[in-house]
Chains A and B, each alone.
Chain A
């Protein structure tokens, strides 16, 4: 079955770039997502990438996809204290299927 893995913790100094990594096993994944969860809140969609793309940039966020290695990363430029949260990557196996498989999440801590 599908499996999505992330490292659990990441600490970054304020102003530096954060890079959160994710690996997945399902080679048929069509869309891959990054969600942000702040304490006591639901999931906020940050960005997503279609599997035929290598990179997507959206303001401070850059997503890189290596489909051969089944590796997805999220880079946050100029990390701010408001970026402290848990970041989840997720994938769907095929178009029209809205069942997301999530990773366990990476807790990003910003060091002042």
Chain B
């Protein structure tokens, strides 16, 4: 069983640019969540996708957007990058159904905005 994979692992952008981060969910998982982890902080929920639709959103502006594909993989897009967008972006997948909401996290994509 493969885990959650994210790409790229590291990238550097400049203010005003746009970035796309990618995530492949764990086999059998149909829900993908994205989190932003700033340096020295805990992860903050950005949004979640289920059945290719956004299914909940945290306190992030509209320039943070996402997609989920029929194979349950997902993208996070950030437009008009700001310096404060520098962070580790974590993708997590989970399966809908009874039981605990157990999320499996990827290793993250570290974005630096200059």
B45, A43: Cβ atoms under 8 Å? no
Q: List, in ascending order, chain B residues with CB within 8 A of A102's CB.
A: 35, 42-44
* Number of inter-chain CB pairs below 8 Å: 62
Instruction: Please name the residue on chain B nearest to A95 by beta carbon.
Output: B101
The answer, yes or no, to whether B12 is at the interface (CB within 8 Å) is no
The answer, yes or no, to whether B104 is at the interface (CB within 8 Å) is yes
Chain B interface size band reads: 20 to 34
The answer, yes or no, to whether B68 is at the interface (CB within 8 Å) is no
The answer, yes or no, to whether B74 is at the interface (CB within 8 Å) is no
B42, A42: Cβ atoms under 8 Å? no
A101, B102: Cβ atoms under 8 Å? no
Segment touching B, from A12-20, A44-52, A68-76: A44-52
Of B31, B41, B43, B107, chain A has the most CB atoms within 10 Å of the CB of B43
Cβ-neighbour of A99 out of B33, B105, B106, B107 (below 8 A): B33
Q: List, in ascending order, chain A residues with CB within 8 A of B40's CB.
A: 104
The answer, yes or no, to whether A31 is at the interface (CB within 8 Å) is yes
Give A55-85 interface residues, CB cut-off 8 Å to B.
none
Known: A35-B105, A44-B105, A48-B100. 9 other contacts (CB 8 A): A42-B105, A43-B43, A43-B90, A45-B102, A45-B104, A98-B48, A99-B33, A99-B58, A105-B41
Interface residues of B (CB under 8 A from A): 4, 31, 33, 35, 40-45, 48, 56, 58, 90, 92, 94, 100-108
Instruction: Give 8 CB contacts A-B under 8 Å.
Output: A31-B101, A42-B106, A88-B42, A95-B101, A98-B33, A98-B94, A100-B103, A102-B35
